[in-house]
Amino acid sequence: DTGVSQDPRHKITKRGQNVTFRCDPISEHNRLYWYRQTLGQGPEFLTYFQNEAQLEKSRLLSDRFSAERPKGSFSTLEIQRTEQGDSAMYLCASSLSSHEQFFGPGTRLTVL
């Protein structure tokens, strides 16, 4: 299967620790998106890349959050000094330009 994959699927960390998530998009997709979804809510846009360029960041993305997409392939989302409010599902999606977004299974983060 060559869908969007995310790693890890689950992450439990202690408050104050740093965490990093990885997203591997569908290989020919030039756009990659990150969303955050809290329980019972719709996903909220965090940021997106076109190839390696980060084109937009949400105000939700505080200074503790950073995302990269080196070489326009996989992407990483790092959260520094995690807080309990960071607990959520982090979703990655990819698309070929303005076509359908395909979502990954998500990384569920729990901050204790």
Q: How far is the CB of 17 from another protein (least distance, A)?
A: 26
Cβ-based nearer residue to another protein, 25 or 82: 25
Q: First vs last Cα of the chain: how many Å apart?
A: 34
Cβ-based nearer residue to another protein, 2 or 98: 98
Interaction site with another protein (CB under 8 A):
3-4, 31, 33, 35, 40-45, 48, 56, 91, 93, 95, 98, 100-101, 103-106
Q: Which amino acid is at 104?
A: G
